[in-house]
């Protein structure tokens, strides 16, 4: 059990799957170390001693997990910078339209810059297959019961994907507005996606996620006439959490606002 986010590695493995065509997909099993090895020590720590000691152990374990991740993230960032590869971490709750936005973006950027994708989900190849259909190379990372990607997983994904110099790599994180915010991957920027089919109060409920954002995309604006979503309230709550962050209204299905999104990516 990971004391930082509460996810469990179950069988102790994270699967990194290269999806690069119907005949070349292959799969590797890797130990999910922070979700497995640390877990037994944490649980045994709670089984003995006094409450304040267990609480102290929990804090120290969280610091150790995040410190290890931050070192790996720094190595990823250096590796990407050496090859002029830009990695964008896409984060949101499930159902916000991340994958649809990514499909549209990859197609729109085709011919302008090589774009590759690392897909994070607990199970299935479904999103990777959708991305593969765009013509982009993609790696699927299945986390099992894990609720986020971490820097070690990104390192494995980059090794499998081998992005060429000057390319753009999108990382579609596991759908979750809590734990992905805690884990630096070594990315160049973080984009948080919220859709008008969700509550406008999400930035107030999940402030840390929005506080770490370099950009917020408000997706599915084509549905605004049909849903009760207060855009001004949402933007106001975002700016309470992070005053200087930009929010771009977009529709991944209809194409509204995507030119501004592409301009933002070009500026990275």
Which residue in the block uniquely carries the two structure tokens 């497995």? 36
pLDDT band at 67 (very low <50, low <70, confident <90, very high): confident
Average pLDDT over residues 245-266: 97
Q: Give 128-180 pLDDT, tens digit per residue.
A: 999 999 999 999 998 877 789 999 999 999 999 999 999 999 999 999 999 99
- Write the DSSP string, 80-109: HHHTT-EEEEEEE-TTSSHHHHHHHHHHHH
What's the predicted TM-score (pTM) here? 0.80
Q: Helix axis angle, 258-267 relative to 98-109, nearest 10°?
A: 70
Helix (H) or strand (E) holding 248: strand 246-249
CA distances for 216 relative to 26, 81, 198, 220, angstroms: 34, 24, 14, 13
CA distances for 130 relative to 6, 94, 184, 250, 257, angstroms: 30, 16, 26, 20, 22
Mean pLDDT of all residues belonging to the chain: 84
Do the domain assignments include residue 196?
yes
Which residue in the block uniquely carries the two structure tokens 């374990």? 61
What's 205's domain CATH number?
A: 3.40.50.300
Q: Give 90-108 pLDDT, tens digit per residue.
A: 999 999 999 999 999 999 9
Q: How far is CA 68 from the centre of its chain?
A: 18
CA distances for 15 relative to 121, 128, 144, 165, angstroms: 10, 13, 8, 26
Asked if residue 97 lies in contact with residue 250, where contact means CB atoms within 8 angstroms, the answer is: no
Helix (H) or strand (E) holding 27: strand 26-31
Do the domain assignments include residue 16?
no
Domain that holds residue 109: 58-267
3-state secondary structure of 1: coil
State how many domains the chain has. 1
pLDDT for residue 121: 86
Strand partners, 119: 140, 172
pLDDT band at 30 (very low <50, low <70, confident <90, very high): very low
Residue among 86, 74, 76 at smallest CA distance from 117: 86
Helix (H) or strand (E) holding 15: strand 13-19
Is the pLDDT at 45 greater than 50? The verdict is: no
Do the domain assignments include residue 17?
no
CA distance 125 to 229: 32
Do the domain assignments include residue 18?
no
Do the domain assignments include residue 26?
no
Helix (H) or strand (E) holding 168: strand 168-172
CA distance 14 to 163: 21
Q: Give 176-228 pLDDT, tens digit per residue.
A: 999 999 999 999 999 999 999 999 999 999 999 999 999 999 999 999 999 99
Do the domain assignments include residue 30?
no
Is the pLDDT at 33 greater than 90? The verdict is: no
Do the domain assignments include residue 15?
no
Q: Which two tokens stand for residue 135?
A: 């013509």
Do the domain assignments include residue 10?
no
């Amino acid at each position: 059990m990971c004391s930082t986010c509460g996810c469990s590695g179950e069988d102790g493995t994270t699967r990194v799957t290269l999806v690069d065509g119907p005949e070349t997909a292959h799969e590797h099993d890797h130990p999910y170390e922070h979700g497995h090895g640390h877990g037994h020590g944490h649980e045994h720590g709670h089984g003995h001693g006094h409450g304040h000691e267990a609480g102290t152990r929990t804090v120290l374990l969280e610091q150790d997990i995040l410190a290890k991740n931050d070192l790996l993230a720094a190595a990823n960032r250096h590796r990407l910078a050496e090859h002029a590869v830009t990695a964008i971490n896409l984060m949101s709750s499930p159902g916000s339209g991340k994958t649809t936005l990514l499909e549209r973006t990859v197609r729109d950027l085709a011919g302008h810059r090589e774009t590759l994708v690392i897909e994070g989900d607990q199970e299935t190849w479904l999103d990777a297959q959708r991305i593969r259909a765009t013509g982009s190379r993609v790696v699927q990372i299945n986390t099992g019961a894990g609720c986020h990607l971490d820097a070690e997983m990104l390192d494995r994904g980059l090794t499998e994907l081998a992005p060429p110099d000057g390319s753009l790599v999108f990382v579609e994180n596991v759908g979750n507005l809590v734990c992905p915010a805690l884990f630096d991957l070594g990315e160049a920027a973080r984009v948080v996606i919220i859709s008008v089919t969700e509550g406008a109060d999400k930035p107030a409920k999940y402030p840390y996620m929005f506080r770490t954002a370099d950009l917020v995309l408000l997706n599915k604006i084509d549905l605004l006439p049909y849903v009760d979503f207060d855009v001004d309230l949402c933007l106001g709550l975002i700016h309470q959490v992070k005053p200087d962050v930009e929010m771009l209204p977009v529709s991944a299905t209809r194409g509204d606002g995507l030119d501004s999104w592409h301009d933002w990516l070009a500026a990275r």
